[in-house]
C-alpha cells in the first residue's frame, strides 16, 4: 500500500512538472531555440501574408517587437492559423503566441489567455458599391457571407433589427475566401470586423467597388492570444504592451498600419483610432467583449 502511494505521488509530481514545463512558454522557447508565432493569411492590416512565407501587419510587427524584447536571440517561426484552428493550436502547444485578429471574449477565456487589448473593432457589413443594402433590415432574403469559426453571423442573428428577417448563410474558409464570395456575387454581403473588411477592400482589384454599411453589431476587443495558466509569459507580454502604450509606440504602430499606405499595393486602410481604443491606450485592460457591450 505504501509503495502504491509513493508511486502515485511520484507520478503526480512528474505530471505536475511536465504541465508546468508545457505552460512555461519562456522556458520552452529558450530550450527549443525558437518561439512559434501564429499568424493569419488574410487579416490585413492586423496580420497577413505577402507570399513566400512572409507575414506582416500591425499585430505581427507588435509581436515581433515583444518577442525580441522578452526572448532576445530566439528565432521566430511563423505558422499560419485559421479562425477554426487557432485556439486548439495554442492550447496544444503548436503555437506559442497568436498574433492575428482574435476577439477576447468570456467563452474563449475558458480555453486560452489574452494579452492587454491592442485593437478594438466594430462588426459591420461590406457590400458592393452598387448595392441597395444600407442596414441590417435590408439583408432580408439576401445571402450573407462570413468566415468559418467567427462570431459574426451569430451576432447578426442576435441583433434586434435582424429578428424578423431571413437570410441565407455561406461560409469562406478564411477572410479572403469570404470576400471572394462577395466579390464574385455569390453573396450579397460580408459581415465581419470593420478593419478586416477595410483591409480586404483596400487590397482588392477595385477598392472603389465596395463599401462598409449598416449598424455596428458588436464592439470587440482584439488581442494577442497565449496559452492559459502561463502567468510569467502573460506578464512579460503585458509589460511590454503597457510600456509601448505609455511611450507612444502603439500609436505610432497604429498610424503606420491603419493610416499610411501598406504593402503589397501601397494603399491605406484609412481607419483612424476609435475612442474606445484611445481610452484603452490610456487605461490598459484585458477585459472580454462582454464588458464592452453591456
Domain regions of the chain by residue span: 29-118+223-292, 123-219
Report how far residue 172's alpha carbon sits from residue 149's, in angstroms, rounded to the nearest whole number: 10
Cis previous bond, 45, omega within 30: yes
pLDDT beyond 60 at 206 = yes
Domain 29-118+223-292 grouped into CATH 1.10.1050.10: no
State the pLDDT at residue 22.
52
pLDDT tens digits for 29-42?
999 999 999 999 99
Q: What is the pTM of this model?
A: 0.77
Q: Per-residue pLDDT averaged across 191-211, rounded?
A: 92
pLDDT beyond 60 at 20 = no
Crossing angle of the two packed helices 194-202 and 175-183, in degrees rounded to 10: 60
Average pLDDT, the chain: 90
State the pLDDT at residue 1.
44
Domains 29-118+223-292 and 123-219 equal at CATH topology level: yes
Give phi and psi for 193, each to the nearest 5. -60, 140
pLDDT beyond 70 at 204 = yes
pLDDT beyond 80 at 7 = no
Residue 160 burial by Cβ neighbours in a 10 Å radius (0-12, 13-18, 19+): exposed
pLDDT tens digits for 29-75?
999 999 999 999 999 999 999 999 999 999 999 999 999 999 999 99
State the pLDDT at residue 4.
45
Tell me which architecture the domain covering 123-219 has in CATH: 3-Layer(aba) Sandwich (3.40)
Report how far residue 248's alpha carbon sits from residue 254's, in angstroms, rounded to the nearest whole number: 10
Lowest mean pLDDT across 4-8, 130-134, 199-203? 4-8
Amino acid at each position: 500500500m505504501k509503495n502504491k502511494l509513493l508511486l502515485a505521488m511520484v507520478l503526480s509530481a512528474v505530471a505536475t512538472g511536465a504541465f508546468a514545463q508545457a505552460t512555461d512558454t519562456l522556458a520552452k522557447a529558450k530550450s527549443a531555440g525558437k518561439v512559434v508565432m501564429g499568424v493569419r493569411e488574410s487579416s490585413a492590416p492586423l496580420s497577413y501574408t505577402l507570399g513566400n512565407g512572409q507575414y506582416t501587419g500591425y499585430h505581427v510587427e507588435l509581436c515581433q517587437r515583444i518577442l525580441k524584447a522578452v526572448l532576445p536571440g530566439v528565432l521566430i517561426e511563423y505558422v499560419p492559423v485559421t479562425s477554426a484552428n487557432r485556439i486548439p493550436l495554442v492550447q496544444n502547444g503548436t503555437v506559442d503566441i497568436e498574433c492575428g485578429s482574435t476577439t477576447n471574449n468570456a467563452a474563449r477565456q475558458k480555453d486560452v489567455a489574452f494579452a492587454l487589448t491592442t485593437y478594438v473593432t466594430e462588426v459591420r457589413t461590406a457590400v458592393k458599391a452598387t448595392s441597395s443594402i444600407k442596414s441590417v433590415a435590408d439583408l432580408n432574403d439576401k445571402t450573407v457571407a462570413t468566415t468559418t469559426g467567427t462570431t459574426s453571423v451569430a451576432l447578426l442573428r442576435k441583433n434586434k433589427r435582424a429578428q424578423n428577417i431571413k437570410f441565407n448563410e455561406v461560409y469562406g474558409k478564411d477572410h479572403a475566401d469570404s470576400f471572394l464570395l462577395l466579390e464574385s456575387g455569390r453573396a450579397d454581403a460580408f459581415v465581419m470586423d470593420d478593419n478586416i473588411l477595410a483591409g480586404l477592400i483596400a487590397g482588392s482589384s477595385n477598392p472603389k467597388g465596395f463599401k462598409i454599411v449598416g449598424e455596428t453589431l458588436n464592439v470587440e476587443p482584439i488581442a494577442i492570444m497565449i496559452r492559459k495558466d502561463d502567468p510569467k509569459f502573460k506578464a512579460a507580454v503585458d509589460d511590454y504592451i503597457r510600456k509601448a502604450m505609455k511611450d507612444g509606440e502603439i500609436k505610432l504602430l497604429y498610424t503606420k498600419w491603419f493610416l499610411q499606405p501598406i504593402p503589397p499595393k501601397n494603399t491605406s486602410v484609412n481607419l483612424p483610432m476609435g475612442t474606445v481604443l484611445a481610452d484603452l491606450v490610456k487605461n490598459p485592460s484585458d477585459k472580454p467583449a462582454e464588458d464592452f457591450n453591456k
